[in-house]
Amino acid sequence: MRHVNFPCPALLVLLTLLVFGACGQDIATGKVVKQPQTPGGRLCSLQCGEAQDYCHQTCDLHYRTCMNNVQAAAVSEYDAYTRAQFAAHEAITLHPRDFEHPDTCDTTRKSCMDDCDQHQQTCFQGCGGQIDTTHSCQYFCF
């Protein structure tokens, strides 16, 4: 068996680390929140938070209403399905949940919550607060 001698083993190690490092980098994003300096600014920022809470509650209420509609439609569709299966003397293999399609509700809720958060950040900054975004490498950073 023939051995291959590398002129610089450290170079091989470095190249290996670079190859694996390039595959494994993961950037973490965070936020640093700095409260307003003045008492009025801090009171203002509290009101922004209360408005955000109210906004989130409104999103949740709309989501529950949407899900109630989805479930009512699913029950109706399941009823039609079972009637058709009975009429055709076929087995019932589906369940009411198979007729539920909550994707629209989920997407709408996420969009609503994101809007609430964006409005809160704008309000907070308008009160004199600062929101700084940070980025940090988590793995194999060179």
**pLDDT recorded at residue 48:** 96
**pLDDT recorded at residue 95:** 94
Assess contact for 26 and 94: CB atoms under 8 A: no
53 closest CA partner among 116, 6, 100: 116
> Could you tell me the mean pLDDT of each successive run of 10 residues in the chain, 142 residues long?
59 56 64 92 96 98 98 97 96 95 96 97 95 78 60
Tokens (6 digits) for 83: 């009637």
**pLDDT recorded at residue 134:** 84
**pLDDT recorded at residue 108:** 97
The whole model's pTM is what?
Answer: 0.68
**pLDDT recorded at residue 12:** 56
33 closest CA partner among 120, 115, 138, 140: 120
CA distance 10 to 137: 24
Assess contact for 108 and 63: CB atoms under 8 A: yes
**pLDDT recorded at residue 57:** 98
CA distance 40 to 128: 9
Q: Where are the domains of the chain?
A: 39-129
**pLDDT recorded at residue 29:** 79
Task: Identify the DSSP state of 6.
Answer: P
Assess contact for 45 and 35: CB atoms under 8 A: yes
